Structure 1
Amino acid sequence: MSDETSGGIWNYGDIFDGLARVVPPDRPALVHGDRVTTWGRLGARTNNLARALLEDGAQPDEKLALYLRNHPAYLEGSVAAFKARQVHVNVNYRYAAEEVRYILENSDATTVVFGREFSPIVRAIQPRLPGVRRWLVVDDGSAEPLPGFATVFDVLAETGSGEPLSLRRSPDDLFFIYTGGTTGMPKGVMWRQDALRRALINPALVERVPQDLADHLQIVQEAGQGPTCLPACPLMHGTGLLSGITALVNAGTVVTLPSAHFDADELWDAVHRHRVDQLIIVGDAFAKPMLRSLDEAGGRYDVSCVLSIISSGTMWSMEVKQGLLRHMPQVTLLDSFGSSEAVGFGLSAMTADGVVETAKFQLGDDVKVFAHDGREVGRGTGEVGIIGRCGAIPEGYYKDPVKTGTTFPVIGGVRYSMPGDHCTVEEDGTITLLGRGSGCINTAGEKVFPEEVEEVLKQHPDVEDALVIGVADDKWGQAVTAVVELRAGAEFDEDALRRHVRGQLAGYKSPKRVFAVDRMFRAPNGKADYKGARDYAQKALEPAG
């Protein structure tokens, strides 16, 4: 383990054992449609699951993969993994069979919890995964036949005394987040549980930073009811899962939506019924439909309970923020800047007063910006650098020491996480984000960051969503190319969109071509699928015939 993160105190299994002693057992922990799991049942079910794994021979540091949509079983499986000292592995439920097999094989998973709807894929890959010893199927309402080799998840969860385990755990117990990235196969980001817990404690959002488990439990008892959190984005991605776990760690309630696809009306109905005070989204892909639903609802939903909406991972436009605040003036809108490789780079807050706090994405003891030669980027110089964070960061990528060395370099004797986000540093130390370097477009020697052009395109009244990519071009090297999804009823006018961008940005940043699609290329968590957009644009540019 890395020197700067060893010797910690936090283990999530110990935290959940402690919470079982201080949280009222009848308090809701997990809500899914009409199904409510109390804290007492959460503790008993996860203890039973963890004990069943251990009695079946599971050893510390073995991997437990979760392959299902948003469902209480995802969080129950995660908590059981913590308690049994198993390593969480997330599986993207949109992956094809070979991609799922790759994740399970690469992670060395020995236990797989999967939704019944994915039984056909599981049947296809099971014979080629001899390392997986346990297949636990979650009855998610699907009509798919149950695989004969799988054990029903709920049977294990409901069998046993429900008593806590007598198990000595370690702050060095691991937690994996597999991230698709932009190139190559998915990579498993390895977090020590102590480092992850410390990284997720944001001093700007808590009244008191807990020093140890006893202190944390006292804070929980004094605070009473924790947040009622609704992750609208998938739990199989870090933004949703880490937000849900953090809400539970603070004795809160996690509400999940039963529908397979995001439905803004379903979200606001759940907020209304369950008095949700915290929403987790990923940028405009979620926020725009949410705003449209409120605009059309005519006050049908009581949203006065919402106190905060947190977005991470992609752009959340000012126009949409202002629209949401019209309906919920009491809400604080938070942009969280982080990634699977490092959380806590920065946070910006916006309120109904239209104020964006100056603490936004700011340099600090743990956050610095470096030029490509390792120099720190000076304030107000306009020089573009890459942001890095030290301190509570991951150990690296599982089975990939080369990529680990690139993303987690040692600079001046200090180890940093540098996922590749480019930015400049202003005079006051605030950081202006430009975009992920892997998506940077080099057009005739000029660098264009897609996010900057996307933000301008989304400001056009006819544009619902936009992605910008570089397409190989004989003249420009890469031609700036846009793919847009139009608002309902809007007519596509390519020249008008190009003029709109040229009116706000340098000419070389204006798209050479713009294409309209019925549905934008985005993953379920709202993050951009740049490969899909690029493939579409390249095909559209091919000569007819």
Structure 2
Amino acid sequence: MQIPLSVMDFLDRAELVYGDRVGIVDEAAQPAASWGDLTYRRVAELARAQAAGLDRLGVGPGERVAVVSHNSARLLTSMFGVSGHGRVLVPVNFRLKAEEVSYIVEQSGASVLLVDPELAEPLAGVVAKHKFVIGADSDALLYDFDHAPRRYAIDENDTATINYTSGTTARPKGVQLTHRSIWLNATLMALHFGAGDRDVYLHTLPMFHANGWGLPFSLTGLGARHVVLRKVDGAEILRRVERHGVTFLCGAPAVVQMVLDAAADWDGPIPGRDRVRMVVAGAPPPTSVVQRMESELGWEFMQIYGLTETSPVVTVNRTRAEWDALPAERRAEKLVQAGAPALGNQVRVDGQGEVLVRSNVVLEGYWQQPAATAEAIRDGWFHTGDGGTLTDGYLSISDRKKDVIISGGENVSSIEVEDCLYDHPAVAEVAVIGVPDAKWGETVKALVVLKPGAEIGEADLIAHCKQRLAGYKSPTSVEFRESLPRTTTGKLQKFRLREPYWAGRERGVN
């Protein structure tokens, strides 16, 4: 017997087994009226009402519904009300400008657009056949509780969501994730990180980002409680952990740093000690961050590596029995590796040092971009564009391939240099890039944000690196910045940092 996998499987089980349990605690402080505490039975009712509302609008199976929203119960429910009932959800990064959102709506062919009230004015010029500002008024139009939704046959290979990647120089591409890829990714996340019905999950990760890494699906199916957080703030994270008994959350290294900074001013014991586990991704964190999470917060550090194109989980890393007796620093060095392939994933590194993936969680394709799809998936392998090494089954990401600095014929990993600079007590943030150099081709440049009140000179930071790294790896220059550009999930936008130094050149290497 073979039954098609569907994202609706997760909510169907939650309604059946945990119908009377509070499944979602909506964000209270939001411009749209909060939905408050929702039982899983109510979540299922809302999803069906949303599907019936789309029927009433004439939005048929396979049509795209775009949502530009901060984390909210409405967005979480739409993963089932839209995708679970035969349409395609297009969750859009709420930090994008109007022109970028317009491109996504147009390129995806979305016939419905839902916009967060906070974004109504800046996105006023974005058009769609059916456009709504999220709130009580749109609820009355979009949710039909008087009729049962039409039932559409869903094949597991149908596209469930289109998630747009943040491009570097080109327009973003729409990643088609199927019901099958989402289902398997969600199951892998729950399996590898030990999720269960006693978990309380805090949504510190944007739900639009690779569908919240798939955890909205898996944790719903297991009957866990979702606590929605609209905007990330270190002190607020600690307050929610304490108030709701949070056990599980996710985020980029920058989110970890926010929590660590807030913990320094926290009055009383740090909430969640020996209870909370946090999955970190988006960039390889410094070893000091891992050690501080364990020692100062008492939270368990876990890591994944992946991309939107892989749903996103490729590798997972969690402390194992063999590491228990290791000194904290040595264990941290193990944990900052990207990890071992998740169950069912095949990972290898080709002769050029690029990480390749073969898996059921790899994208179906880029929406209406067959040439880009053919370029990314070649000979049965997805080409990540990341450089890395495999040692004893564990993957380490050395850099984005295009970010590797080649100085005097020697490869320099910017991550290694960044890790060294992060160890300096005056450094809050750092990005290392390659810039053109007449003698060496490229040379290493560090862009540094200092901690409040810290004072240090360029020469001192260069000397700090030269004490720990080979001379060719050490920065030849340091610039001090007020801030560094990041994506919503905390990933450094190095292409923006490099642009001024490579302007006017035909190639981005020298």
TM over 0.5: yes
Retained in 1: the 8 A contact 2:117–2:134? yes
1:335 shift after superposition = 0.8
Of 151, 155, 179, 1:170 maps to: 155
**Deviation digits for residues 325-373 of structure 1, max 9, x if unmatched?**
22443x3211111111123321112488644679962368732323247
Q: How many angstroms apart in 2 are the aligned matches of 1:516 and 1:8?
A: 57
Of 351, 358, 369, 2:348 maps to: 369
Retained in 2: the 8 A contact 1:334–1:348? yes
1:455 shift after superposition = 1.5
Query: Which residue identity is paired with 1:320?
Result: V
TM-score (norm 2): 0.87
Aligned-pair identity in percent equals 24
Aligned to 1:292: 261
Q: How many angstroms apart in 2 are the aligned matches of 1:207 and 1:269?
A: 23
Of 152, 155, 158, 2:137 maps to: 152
Aligned to 1:336: 304
Q: How many angstroms apart in 2 are the aligned matches of 1:184 and 1:333?
A: 34
1:273 shift after superposition = 0.8
1:38 shift after superposition = 2.2
Unaligned runs of 5+ in 2: 30-35, 504-510
Of 393, 396, 402, 1:429 maps to: 393
Retained in 2: the 8 A contact 1:441–1:448? yes
Q: How many angstroms apart in 1 are the aligned matches of 2:415 and 2:405?
A: 11
1:464 shift after superposition = 0.8
Q: Secondary structure at the match of 1:136?
A: strand
Retained in 1: the 8 A contact 2:250–2:280? yes
1:31 shift after superposition = 3.0
Aligned to 1:119: 120
Q: Secondary structure at the match of 1:152?
A: helix
Question: Does 1:16 pair with 2:11?
Answer: yes
Q: Residues 392 and 301 of structure 1: is their aligned pair in 2 closer, same or farther, counting only changes over 3 Å? A: closer
Query: Which residue identity is paired with 2:382?
Result: S
1:199 shift after superposition = 2.8
Aligned positions, number: 484
Retained in 2: the 8 A contact 1:19–1:251? yes
Question: Does 1:264 pair with 2:230?
Answer: no
Q: How many angstroms apart in 1 are the aligned matches of 2:141 and 2:386?
A: 43
What aligned pairs does 1:180-329 form with structure 2 within 5 A after superposition?
180-202=166-188, 205=191, 225-238=197-210, 240=212, 242-259=214-231, 262-283=232-253, 285-299=254-268, 301-304=270-273, 306-329=275-298
Q: How many angstroms apart in 1 are the aligned matches of 2:3 and 2:256?
A: 37
Question: Does 1:468 pair with 2:432?
Answer: yes
Query: Which residue identity is paired with 1:49?
Result: Q
Of 23, 28, 31, 1:28 maps to: 23
Q: Secondary structure at the match of 1:393?
A: coil
Retained in 2: the 8 A contact 1:60–1:85? yes
Q: Secondary structure at the match of 1:418?
A: strand
Retained in 2: the 8 A contact 1:199–1:392? yes
Which region of structure 1 is more displaced relative to structure 2, 90-99 or 11-20?
A: 11-20
Aligned to 1:500: 464
1:87 shift after superposition = 1.1
Retained in 1: the 8 A contact 2:64–2:88? yes
Retained in 1: the 8 A contact 2:15–2:41? yes
**Deviation digits for residues 361-387 of structure 1, max 9, x if unmatched?**
2368732323247xxxxxxxxxx4423
Which region of structure 1 is more displaced relative to structure 2, 364-373 or 110-119?
A: 364-373
Q: How many angstroms apart in 2 are the aligned matches of 1:183 and 1:249?
A: 38
Which region of structure 1 is more displaced relative to structure 2, 90-99 or 386-395?
A: 386-395
Q: How many angstroms apart in 2 are the aligned matches of 1:73 and 1:325?
A: 34
Aligned to 1:514: 478
Question: Does 1:447 pair with 2:415?
Answer: no
1:461 shift after superposition = 1.1
Retained in 2: the 8 A contact 1:348–1:361? yes
Aligned to 1:68: 69
Q: How many angstroms apart in 1 are the aligned matches of 2:3 and 2:432?
A: 42
Aligned to 2:367: 398
Q: How many angstroms apart in 2 are the aligned matches of 1:508 and 1:328?
A: 37
Aligned-pair RMSD on alpha carbons?
2.8
1:278 shift after superposition = 0.2
Q: Residues 288 and 536 of structure 1: is their aligned pair in 2 closer, same or farther, counting only changes over 3 Å? A: farther
Q: How many angstroms apart in 1 are the aligned matches of 2:260 and 2:319?
A: 16
1:527 shift after superposition = 0.8
TM-score (norm 1): 0.81
1:53 shift after superposition = 0.4
Aligned to 2:86: 85
1:180 shift after superposition = 1.0
